[in-house]
Structure 1
Amino acid sequence: MPAARLYPIFTQLAGRAVLVVGGGNVAERKTAALLEAGADVQVGATTFTPQLSAWAENGRISLIYGEFAEEWLDRQWLVVAATSDAAVNAQVAAATERRRIWTNVVDDAALSSFQVPAVIDRAPLVVAVSTAGAAPVLARLVREAIERVLDPSLGALAALAERWRGRIRGRFADLGQRRRFLERLFQGRVAELVRRGQLAVADAAIARELAVTEAEPAAGSVVLVGAGPGDAGLLTLKGLRALNEADVILYDSLVGADVLALARRDAERIDVGKRAGAHSKSQDEIHELLLAQARSGKRVVRLKGGDPFVFGRGGEEIEFLRAHGIAYEVVPGVTAALACAAYAGIPLTHRDSAQSVRFVTAHCKASLDTLDWPALAAERQTLAVYMGVAGLERLRDRLVAHGRAATTPIALIENGSRTTQRVVLGDLANLPQVACEHAVVSPALLIVGEVAALGAQLHWFGAAPLTAAPALARAA
């Protein structure tokens, strides 16, 4: 028989009498939670844990010695049966049912008239999860998932709103206006300040917000969020929170649909199409979009593939925002070099062969001309090259010309971390041919260095790597 649907309720127990029947460890845990709620707790049993005895000595609880008797229920608002004796628990349940007292029998949903949920505590914000006693372990797992999503600062934010509640109600008599103000409060600049621990500044920000006339738009802000290379699981918790608070999202073409699906459902989405060699929006146009959206009072997320500060032009964007007085925040992402290499089973450093790693971008001939080729061609290092696949021959030729061995292993990682990931292994000499033969397309990352060869043995994600014969061996 399926579990009955429960009516969710939060009870006010401060100063109210609650009885716990049982004196063991389970009863101790239940008593601790009731004390947190401010209940006047009595515990009845034949023996008690040292902690229960200590609480009684300190006057925090009262103890009743002996076997359960129905008169223990006099004046009780709530009862918890937490003994190890099923018969005693059933006796308690029957007595409380007669007296119409809400009762929880630990680990026995059938005898209980209320369930104790799994709790996410961000006091005064509390989230409760219940499966009506059908699957307590599942409730715990759901609680853990919510714990990871809810920022610890939410409790402080709720307390801040409580302090300002009277003034907010006085300022906005209209319920709709009040709701919009509170949404802005919880999703905007004030929430950012509370996350940063700047509570006094947050108080001042609320005062300023309340002083703004209805004709004046609220100040907007921009958050630069790194989406990672594709796998939505690599999005950071802070990035996820920003997406769920966004009014508008400006996203690059390399941002995966799975990541966008995590965003707030009613957020406006604007594709700014940043992809190597195919920009639907110029950088200046993106700047103007950020400025216009923020000045209209919106919470803007600039969502970038990888990390905003690693070949993502994030520095240019926050320089522009700062110059125009727009508040901004940066949420780093897992950059492509780290994620793609890891998903291909290729360590970027290795004490036997690579003591350093260099991140390089080489999207066009002009960018190739600016690189320090003697340094890049040095041995015992790994190159992680962010690029399309058009300049591979020129890159190969310059590395070899400046001393990097033609037999140096390489790995081309296409769509790294996504379900469509492909890895092609070869050597520097046959790099352009390998890319052509396997029709490697962007987005692709190139790894150059001895560590690339480890992908053949250490791969773990997706299909096994495609391995090309060394160019020198093929020539022979």
Structure 2
Amino acid sequence: MKYFPLFHNTADLRVLIVGAGEVATRKTELMLKTDATITVVAPWQCDSMLGYVNEERVTLHSREFNPADLTGQQLVFVATDDHQLNCDISTLCKAANIPVNVVDSTELCSFITPSIVDRDPLVVALSSGGSAPVLLRLLRQKLEALLPARLADLARLSDSFRDKVKQRFSSVNQRRHFWEQVLEGDIAETALRGELDSAAQQIEDRLASNADMPAGCVYLVGAGPGDPELLTFKALRLMQKADVVVYDRLVSAEILELVRRDAEKIYVGKKASLHSVPQDQINQLLVDLARAGKRVVRLKGGDPYIFGRGGEEVQSLLEAGISFDVVPGITAAAGAAAYAGIPLTHRDHAQSVTLATAHLKDDSVDLDWPALAKTNQTLVFYMGLTALPVICRELQQHGLAADTQIALVQSATTAKQQVVTGTLRDIEARAAEANLLPPALIIVGGVVSLYQTFNAGRLGAQQ
């Protein structure tokens, strides 16, 4: 992040604007929305700037810039057509540790101004760091259309009740849940219709009621195979509402970025043959957090009920009397196959799909090999890379030909995705040559023969 966004208190801010043409006037108009004290220095002024001077909204020094003009200033905008003057002022400001913005000269700026969607006191600021101004404009247009004009009224109404809500609810979680009920329900709709008195009375009534806040609960949420764009809307909504997020190793950093910033994040990651937190401790953690009144999201790679141990966690929640819900996610088999260009079913190659884990609860690989080693089906092994020699040996011993096609998909659906194909005879050597590491998915069957053709024609193919 090259430019870090900040919201500056403008109550006592002193701002200098050098230049008084139309560009400088636009910066002035932006600052006139704040409480800052504005001084303009320029030998010539356009009509719009003179209008603000005549209204006594800015102080004008109608002359050339002097370095002494920087004395006491806390923010400087430079908008002249004299490049050397712009460079000189930028150098002076940086030497004096005064933030400076030189219009249309990013290299001379110590700060840049964002594109703003103004619903004061709610302000949305967008920036591309000067790299994509057209994209920025399009995003702002979308946000302007999405955010109701009366959102400012709703924000001010909420602010007027902050102290009362603090008095009514002692914990941060209780207050957050209360405001979510207000802002996501009928009260907010009433305020956005302009019926502020009615909305205020509804808030008063809700505060006066003796109804307790909802007890803690747990949401088992499937995070999908890695690409954040594969999250469901419901998953994203719950991630933004969680008090605590319990996540594992298969949840990508990009997906964690979408979790609410102030939510507590607890890592309980696992990898092959190494469990940093035993499953029974994870189960108890979920129960304890919910009993403490927390809204818990158990974020799992793929789908919670497909080799995600979601069933074990639900059993513990049921025994403890904890309310829960399960949000399905795109399982790794579907994600890996789609992004690798390998269809899981195809009338010419496979009429069924079998999903299997290469590690059972006791870390064995004791599977029903005769049932797995059948033709005209696709096999998908989860968590199977370390067991690859066993898989290849057992499938051949139970009837599959040595030239049966097999694919290994590492870090499926992410920018690091890597696909290695081969046969049951040679895939071990190919995997070693490619230095594949978990997490990786194994796909076995005739559908793998379509990999090169299907992947080459796919938009955004990673291989």
Structure 2 length as normaliser, TM-score?
A: 0.60
Matched, 1:274 2:299: no
In structure 1, the partner of 2:210 is 211
Asked whether the 8 Å contact 1:253–1:274 carries over to 2, the reply is: yes
Moved more, 242-251 or 434-443: 434-443
Query: 2:384 is matched by which residue type in structure 1?
Result: G
Q: How does 1:89-104 map to 2 (within 5 A)?
A: none
Q: Give CA deviations for 1:120-142 in whole Å, capped at 9, x if unaligned.
A: 9xxxxx999999xxx89856645
SS at match of 2:341: coil
Aligned to 1:369: 366
Q: Structure 1: how far apart are the matches of 2:341 and 2:415?
A: 15
Structure 2 partner of 1:354: 350
Pairwise CA distance, 1:388: 3.4
- Quote the Cα distance in structure 2 between the aligned partners of 1:146 and 1:333: 31
Displacement of 1:260 after TM fit? 0.8
1:329 aligns with 2:325: yes
Q: What residue is the counterpart of 1:298 in the other structure?
A: 294
Q: Does 1:183 align with 2:182?
A: no
Q: Which amino acid aligns with 2:232?
A: T
For residue 285 of structure 1, report the CA deviation from its aligned partner. 0.4
| 1:420 paired to 2:416 | yes
Among 331, 342, 345, the alignment partner of 2:338 is 342
Q: CA distance change for structure 1 residues 191 and 410 in 2, over 3 Å: closer, same or farther?
A: farther
Partner of 1:410: 406
Shift, 1:359, TM fit: 1.0
Q: After superposition, where does 1:36-55 map in structure 2 within 5 Å?
A: none
Quick one: structure 1 residues 262 and 430, their matched pair in 2 at CA, closer, same or farther if it must change by over 3 Å? same
Match 1:262 to one of 247, 258, 263: 258
- Secondary structure of 1:446 counterpart: strand
Partner Cα distance (1:208, 1:287) in 2: 35
Structure 2 CA distance for aligned equivalents of residues 192 and 376 of structure 1: 49
Question: What does residue 448 of structure 1 align with?
Answer: 444
How many residues are aligned here?
341
CA drift at 1:240: 1.5
Deviation at 1:445, TM superposition (A): 0.3
How much does 1:186 deviate? 4.7
Identify unmatched segments of 5+ residues in structure 1. 10-116, 121-125, 195-202, 465-476
The equivalent residue for 1:307 is 303
Task: Find the residue that maps to 1:410 and give its secondary structure.
Answer: strand
Letter in 1 for 2:271: R
1:240 to 236, 242, 265: 236
Aligned to 2:427: 431
Shift of 1:207: 7.7
Q: Matches of 1:220 and 1:209 in 2, distance apart?
A: 22
Which amino acid is 1:253 matched to?
R
| 1:120-269 correspondence to structure 2 within 5 Å | 141=139, 174=167, 181-187=174-180, 210-211=209-210, 219-269=215-265
Structure 1 pair 317/435, CA: closer, same or farther in 2 (3 Å)?
same
**Any idea what SS the aligned residue of 1:174 has?**
helix
| Amino acid aligned to 1:183 | R
CA RMSD between the two structures:
4.8
Q: Please state whether the residue corresponding to 1:454 is helix, strand or coil.
A: helix
Correspondent of 1:396 among 371, 392, 398: 392
Once the two structures are TM-superposed, the CA of residue 454 in structure 1 deviates from its matched residue by 1.8
Task: Report the alpha carbon displacement of residue 270 of structure 1 after superposing the two structures with TM.
Answer: 0.8
| 8 Å Cα contact 1:409-1:426 kept in structure 2 | yes
Residue 429 of structure 1: SS of its match in structure 2? coil
Partner residue in 1 for 2:14 = none
C-alpha displacement of 1:437: 2.7
Partner of 1:91: none
Secondary structure of the structure 2 residue equivalent to 1:294: helix
Asked if 2 retains the 8 angstrom alpha-carbon contact of 1:209 and 1:218, the reply is no
SS in 2 for 1:369: coil
- What's the secondary structure of 2:274's corresponding residue? coil
| 1:320 paired residue number | 316
Cα gap change, 1:252 to 1:191, in 2 (>3 Å): farther
Paired letter, 2:210: A
Contact 1:361 1:367 in 2 (8 A): no
Tell me how far apart the structure 2 counterparts of residues 307 and 145 of structure 1 sit (CA, whole Å).
32
Once the two structures are superposed, residues 406-453 of structure 1 have per-residue CA deviations (whole angstroms, 9 ceiling, x without a partner) of: 111111111111222111110112232222232221100001011112
Cα contact 1:129–1:139 (8 A) shared by 2: no
Task: Specify which of 380, 386, 404 is matched with residue 376 of structure 2.
Answer: 380
Using the alignment, how far apart are the partners of 1:321 and 1:147 within structure 2? 42
Give distance in 1, aligned partners of 2:145 and 2:309: 33
Change (3 A) 1:296 1:190: farther
2: distance between equivalents of 1:253 and 1:296?
A: 25
